[in-house]
Amino acid sequence: MCGINGIITANNDLKKKINKANDLLQHRGPDDEGYVVIECSGSSAERFSGKDSTEAIKHKYPPFNISDDNSKSVILAHRRLSIIDLSENGHCPMCDQSSNIWITFNGEIYNYIELREELIGYGFTFKTHSDTEVIINAYLKWGFECLNKFNGMWAFAIWDKRTKILFMARDRFGVKPLYYVKNDTYFAFSSELKPLTVYNTNCTEINSDKIPFFLIYGNRLNTEETYLKDIFSLPASHYLVYKDGKISISQYYDVKVHSEGLNEEQLKHRIVELLEDSIKLRFRSDVPVGTCLSGGFDSSSIVSLASENHSNSIETFSAVWNEKECDESFYIDIVNNKFGCNANKVIPKEDEFESIFTKLCYYQEIPTEGPGLYPQWYVMAKAKEKVKVLLDGQGGDEVFGGYFQMGAYLRGILRDKSFIKMFGESGSYLKFFNKNGLHSFSSWLFPKQYGYLTRSKFSAKFDIFNRDFIRNIDKESLIYDVEPPKKFGNYLGNLSYHFIVNMTIPTLLHYEDRSSMAHSIESRVPFLDYRLVELGLNLKTSYLSHKGVSRPLYRKALRPFLPDEVVNRKDKLGFPVPFSAWTRGSLKTFIEESLITNGNLLFDYLDKKTLELNLKDHYNGNKDYSWEIWRLLSLKYFINLFTDRKY
């Protein structure tokens, strides 16, 4: 896991700025730093060290320097977090033995050992034990098709001196980020947004069109656009080719539709087999590995299966609370005790909120949706004390139907046109309506119609925007397709795919990456092994949700490995935080000073009087506005970060 930067330009002033761009990724790779400058028209390639390079690399290569020849060059830069092959052999940028292929790489190829053996069988030789060299030789053997050979998470850029192309790629589900910018003067890429702004001498322009969508829905659409104009995200499962000043983007992978042809017992065995192997692969490391443990189904499954295959006690990391409604210590303790783990618990502090929130916003780089990021920050900080790699449970809900309780179950019956089942569940429809009311009933069963209504001028969510701003917004841009694509054999499979590709996973992975890398921690997500995803999304409806019980097949498969208290849990807390109470107490002054002060750039978008009324209702207990408060605080810090550019 590392940070990568690169630029192709003839402008010497821009070339020199890559040094500042790389400094901004120091947290992603504090162990080493490296550069290579390659002439586009010739064959020369010169390596340089940086101020944070190891002593061995500083002795081997001169400090980064750009000559004043104004020739077009490719510069690849790297920040290393040493995980595999800790020796200087793992230094990047790395090249093949002929110095024709150069790579800067962020991520891990978990099946690199197997691929290395396969490539040796084809006659390739290796001078390192790194997965980076495996990528180079895989590219030499299979070209762009090498991507479908990898099981892992990656964002890398390869300069091929033979063909004069830059080949950039991102992993199947976008665990690792990759951004780029292109204009008439340069093409540049980076692991984060801030480094790409250093090449722009003008003020960074906020992509204002995304702000209404964010405040209404959160970060719920995976697109190439970012919150900054002219900076784009390479989509997951895509690669980009830059040649002669032009770029082309292609998709190399999509979740395959197939039928396993297995009965229930065989599927249960297959789930455990694949998850065990995924965890085993993600424990490959030359540094200590631990796991997050929330007490929920997914993180507990990882701890259970990891413990089965390791003689040493697993280090687990958890956020706990003094407030009973948020605390999951009961389940955390059960899991830790059953599997003999070394428990590492941390209690997020209310009186540290302002300072940590500011740091959190700096590293996240985008407006964020809710307070679950606060305990996640503490977990990562605690993990840094003992490990360098951390497994987490992102994706388990999306892959095996964890979100599909009664609303999704009933909606699935309607969308699959299961008329006999629909008639048989008529009582469940009525019960769901009586229990949840018209709002929840409509949003689940008729999301398209409900969406149009809530996006209309009658929606209270529109009141927060000032009239001058919202008048110039294309309302159609706020309408997105809530219906999943018809790809799999049933509605719930399609909805799972929608969550993974478009809705929840892209956002959750962004948060996970930034929170972990802020503490120089490599986060790995076993549930997003593409083999597990393909298995889960091709399951039939009754295996994903049954009569309002989420992921029934997964529960059966993992029951032999987990305590009954965890398997039988039907409450889903996520990352609960007593943030609502804090906002009415100790954080009130901070909120007022942050959101209501004159000259606040938020009021380019928001109506101040409406915001004041909403806050008053919140403080009086007439409404819970705490999640909106988080979003507004986050949006304000984001705008200030890129407007002031004090980084």
5, two tokens? 């930067």
Q: What are phi and psi of 239, to 5 degrees?
A: -130, 155
How far is it, in rounded angstroms, from Cα 439 to Cα 437? 6
Cis peptide before 526 (omega within 30 of 0): no
Cα(28)–Cα(21) distance, rounded to whole angstroms? 12
Contact between 83 and 388 under an 8 Å Cβ cutoff? The reply is yes
- With beta carbons less than 8 A apart as the criterion, state whether 144 and 167 touch: yes
Please state, as a whole number, how many other Cβ atoms lie within 10 Å of the Cβ of residue 337.
11
Residue 238: strand, helix, or coil: strand
Ordered DSSP codes for 461-515: GGGGB-HHHHHTS-GGGG----SPPS-SSSHHHHHHHHIIIIISHHHHHHHHHHH
Say whether 95 is catalytic: no
Rounded Cα distance between 276 and 254, Å, is 23
**Which residues are CB-contacts of 435 (< 8 A; sequence separation ≥ 6)?**
none
Distance between CA atoms of residues 118 and 128, nearest Å: 16
Which is the catalytic residue, given 2, 146, 292, 341?
2
- In angstroms, the CA 110 to CA 285 distance is 9
Compute the distance between CA of residue 233 and CA of residue 441 in angstroms, rounded to an integer.
36
Residues 6+ apart with CB under 8 A from 210: 225, 227
C-alpha 89/C-alpha 76 separation (Å) is 17
Please check whether residue 524 is in contact with residue 472, taking contact to mean a CB–CB distance below 8 angstroms: no
Determine the Cα angle at 516 with ends 512 and 521, to 5°: 140
Q: Is the dihedral of CA 510, 515, 520, 525 positive or negative?
A: negative
Q: Locate tokens 């002669």: which residue?
A: 244
Q: Where do the DSSP E strands lie in 365-432?
A: 389-391
Please check whether residue 3 is in contact with residue 53, taking contact to mean a CB–CB distance below 8 angstroms. no
C-beta separation of 526 from 301 below 8 A: no
- Comparing CA positions, the residue from 73, 103, 77 lying closest to residue 9 is 73
Q: Give the residue among 187, 174, 179 at the shortest CA–CA distance from 207.
A: 179
Query: Residue 156: which of 103, 111, 115 has the closest Cα?
Result: 103
Instruction: Kindly state the tokens that stand for 571.
Output: 């409450």
Amino acid (1-letter code) at residue 195: P
Between CA 229 and CA 206 the distance in angstroms is 6
| Four-point Cα dihedral 361, 364, 367, 370, nearest 10 | -80
Supply 406's token pair: 């009664």
By annotation, the residues acting in catalysis are: 2
